[in-house]
Structure 1
């Protein structure tokens, strides 16, 4: 009898916990459905229509995708986004990992440097871009002022088509590497010290310990950071919008910036949605390729 009563009590407790769990999970699930899943479904539907916001959507089939193939500015935006990705992702990985390894050591002032490196992440992208707009100003900017102290003539960083994308990458690295550094630091802290102690006894060099112990141990961490970087680079918008407005000469117009132009300036929501769908496919393919390179399970 006691066993039966005990089972009934346990079932009530489990049922209460289950209801409480569902209650706590419900708000984020509802928000995800309303603001992520539903817009995605709507974007897929709109990509096959001609929709100018004012008039009802008109079904056009694959016309938007055929238009995309012939659209010169789409290919310029895609090329610029790929250039940004190729510049930013490797540099972001190296900078974040290097900073994490430096701060992983038990030295004085490490806590201060961790805070200083992470501070830019707390600022909004628009605020950071506004700051860098002043730093890179060709006449009154801080960077050119420092270069002049060493007898180096300053550059028109944001107004030269050859330097504009590099300037955006420079700003993005400064603003974003702190967050990825903390992820790498957590991965490094998870490596058992005994591995390095055994390697030292065997006479392994620091480079051998890095390639044979550190990198294999943080494979999943590297996959996470690199995936986040790739997704972030293909979605870059704020930096180009604030710093260069896509110029000069469309040198910094990106995919998301082009989606913004078509959707909110040209009021061609159907075409903007079709570009968004292609962007989603590109990010998905890049994520799968990245998982194969890092040998990580998605």
Structure 2
């Protein structure tokens, strides 16, 4: 019994040592900054002078801030476009690649679809900015060849947010495709064979076998995509700077403007803390709706 207890204690110690580096990094780069951001949110501070304690004044100001409310609406629109598109495209790509016969062909398709994920958001945003250029952009030239008129794209109040979302979708859907593909390969082939014998067509097999079998992966992709959508910043900064008319001013970009352009670090921290709470709340609701277990 003593040897067994020593063995268990040793394994437990090894387990803690294995996760210790990651926990330390999370403490330094996640938990401590969150606590410090909440602390700063209670002050009026421009990062240079002395801090002036204002209590919950910043939070009361935030409630009346129409720009903040607009940024939440914009972020919500972006999240809907981004999450739905990433989910549908990545799952469709995974089903398509999984249906390809031959390992070499599958591998080439996986590489081609995953390749955009290796490009940094800044580079991708710069590339797509040229493509969406209203005067000399290649997309407008293609539209002209097809007999469709030129589009304003990034200069349009209705099209700009969609254009910004396309960049994020283009980068990440290949990564999620790999995740879905791994889940699809774990679905036993016997299920599909039995369904074929029972006369189920491809659509029925997809909705009755494939989707229920990859529920855990679906929840993971939806939650991570939702969190990523609330953190969108790089492509907004490069492509539109929040314009035109604040139609692409997501909340993270508004925080950036407050902190690094207006030097209102206290108020920026207030919105950052609030956004973190909103993300947590929305994630919990999403998990409940999807019946996460």
1:202 to 198, 203, 214: 198
Residue equivalent to 2:224 = 228
* SS in structure 2 at match of 1:296: coil
Scaled by the length of structure 2, the TM-score of the pair is 0.93
Distance 1:132 1:57, change over 3 A: same
Is 2:80 aligned against 1:118? no
d(CA) in 2 for partners of 1:192, 1:82: 38
d(CA) in 2 for partners of 1:26, 1:290: 30
> 1:164-203 to 2 correspondence within 5 Å?
164-203=160-199
Q: Which ranges in structure 2 are unaligned for 5 or more consecutive residues?
A: none
Q: Which moved more, 1:23-32 or 1:184-193?
A: 23-32
Is 2:45 aligned against 1:51? yes
Q: Which ranges in structure 1 are unaligned for 5 or more consecutive residues?
A: none
Residue equivalent to 2:34 = 40
d(CA) in 2 for partners of 1:49, 1:267: 13
Residue equivalent to 1:161 = 157
Shift of 1:296: 1.1
Shift of 1:63: 0.7
The CA deviation string for residues 154-212 of structure 1, in whole angstroms up to 9 with x for no partner, is 21111111110111122222111101111111111111111111111111122221111
d(CA) in 2 for partners of 1:13, 1:76: 55
Is 2:238 aligned against 1:242? yes
Residue equivalent to 1:95 = 89
Residue equivalent to 1:82 = 76
d(CA) in 1 for partners of 2:207, 2:14: 47
d(CA) in 1 for partners of 2:16, 2:225: 33
2:134 to 130, 138, 141: 138
2:98 to 104, 110, 114: 104
